[in-house]
Chain A
Amino acid sequence: MYAALFLVPWMLMYALSTIVMNHRAAFQERYGGSLVKWATEREQQYTTQFHADADAHAMGQQIMRDLRLNGNFNVNLSRDRKKLTLVRTDPVTPRRITYTPADGKLVVEKQELRTQPFLESLHRRRGFQNSPMPDILWATSVDLVIVAMVIWVLSGLWMWWEMKVTRGFGAICLLTGLGLFTLFLFTI
């Protein structure tokens, strides 16, 4: 019970985010085509010298440090190496930074806060690889949710079995659910 109370915000987020992900097309229509909307926050000249052996992530780290944007980010260097795109994966206000070394131009864009992408980004957030401490703690909390879900299933089954009065109808519910699930499993 205490684990369930502690994890209420996570379960609420996973339930609501799954609904909005299940209805992504409806949200796309509602938002006029694209789920996310970027607005230019600022444009500036950016001249810096990267190390000769700096990879995209190292370049990204330097830019993020200079912009004083702390936290986790994704990085993508275009195939022709002419454009470096960084996305600071802030759950509330993600920012996209586009750097074109040829003209030393840096564009910072801010993502408009919208229900669908906000919930979906939280739902998809996971992983322990090369992440700052808050992300590692978040990934640990996701693992905690996983363990709790398995425990709730097992303890729930045990509690149901202990209540003799609900065994009959409970068994019908359980078997109907299992039957329907098995049907989907082998037909989709």
Chain B
Amino acid sequence: MTFDKINRRTHLYAALFFMPWFFVYGISSLVFSHPSWFSRGPNMVPVSEREYKLGPIAPDAALGPIGDQIQKDTGLQGQFAVFRTPENLIRLYKPGFITATQITYDPSQERLTVQKTPFKVSGLLTRLHARGGFERTDVLNTAWSVIVDLVQIGMLIWIASGLYMWWHLKPVRGWGWLALGAGASSFAYFITAL
């Protein structure tokens, strides 16, 4: 098998395998680029709200154990991120793809609220797009982040193999140079002008 053929096959099969990710990254970018087109409806809907006492929480208290306790008391499964809001609320957030869950504890009111995102295609797309990083330690999230890296490596391979294929199509070299040059100079313009 020649290098030319290996190059073509790698380009094709990698593209077919990673097609769902590539398509989602493309189409979901529209939601980020034009948020006003997709802003209808509430972001969160309440699931439950009740009185809840956790005792005083020091301003510098470690949030991990507090989050674990709140999650245990709500009976919700999964890996939640825990943080403190500027309004001094303790918030737990689990961004699943189909739906995201948020638990909010208000120490001043001693109230615990559980909310979920209603199913919206735009929400699903943005969560798929933004998911990544190796901070979450469970197998599924780590595997997803590995795939995210592989998709990007795939993109770099498509660029390199695409350039190689273009270079071997002599009749289109001239116009190709023009397109490549125009793209590179437009990008350089943006870097200096933005």
Given A19-B152, A178-B20, A2–B13 Cβ distance below 8 Å? Answer: no
Q: Tell me the interface secondary structure of chain B in the complex.
A: helix
Question: Which bucket holds chain B's interface residue count?
Answer: 35 or more
> Closest residue to B21 on the A side, CB-wise?
A181
Cross-chain contact B194 with A156 (CB below 8 angstroms) = no
> Closest residue to A90 on the B side, CB-wise?
B194
Cross-chain contact B194 with A91 (CB below 8 angstroms) = yes
Cross-chain contact B187 with A22 (CB below 8 angstroms) = no
Kindly specify which of A8-16, A36-44, A58-66, A102-110 makes contact with the partner chain: A8-16
Among B21, B23, B176, B183, the residue within 8 A (CB) of A150 is B23
Kindly specify which of B52-60, B61-69, B113-121, B140-148 makes contact with the partner chain: B140-148
Q: Which residues of the other chain, A, contact B149 by a CB distance below 8 angstroms?
A: 19, 22
- Indicate whether B107 reaches chain A with its CB closer than 8 angstroms: no
Q: Which residues of the other chain, A, contact B29 by a CB distance below 8 angstroms?
A: 126, 142, 145-146, 149
Cross-chain contact B194 with A125 (CB below 8 angstroms) = yes
Among A146, A160, A184, the residue within 8 A (CB) of B33 is A146
- Indicate whether A174 reaches chain B with its CB closer than 8 angstroms: yes
- Indicate whether B98 reaches chain A with its CB closer than 8 angstroms: yes
- Indicate whether A67 reaches chain B with its CB closer than 8 angstroms: no
- Indicate whether A85 reaches chain B with its CB closer than 8 angstroms: no
Q: Which residues of the other chain, A, contact B194 by a CB distance below 8 angstroms?
A: 71-72, 89-91, 125, 134-135, 138
Cross-chain contact B140 with A146 (CB below 8 angstroms) = no
Q: Tell me the interface secondary structure of chain A in the complex.
A: helix
Q: Which residues of the other chain, A, contact B131 by a CB distance below 8 angstroms?
A: 188
Cross-chain contact B15 with A156 (CB below 8 angstroms) = yes
A128 to B32, CA, bound (A): 11
Cross-chain contact A184 with B140 (CB below 8 angstroms) = yes
Cross-chain contact B183 with A6 (CB below 8 angstroms) = yes
Cross-chain contact A146 with B134 (CB below 8 angstroms) = no
A62 to B26, CA, bound (A): 38
Among A18, A89, A141, A188, the residue within 8 A (CB) of B190 is A141
- Indicate whether B93 reaches chain A with its CB closer than 8 angstroms: no
A160 to B27, CA, bound (A): 21
- Indicate whether B1 reaches chain A with its CB closer than 8 angstroms: no
**Can you offer 22 A-B residue contacts whose CB atoms are under 8 A?**
A2-B179, A5-B162, A7-B183, A8-B163, A8-B183, A9-B186, A142-B29, A145-B26, A146-B33, A149-B23, A149-B27, A152-B22, A166-B9, A170-B16, A173-B13, A174-B19, A180-B147, A181-B20, A184-B144, A185-B98, A186-B98, A188-B96
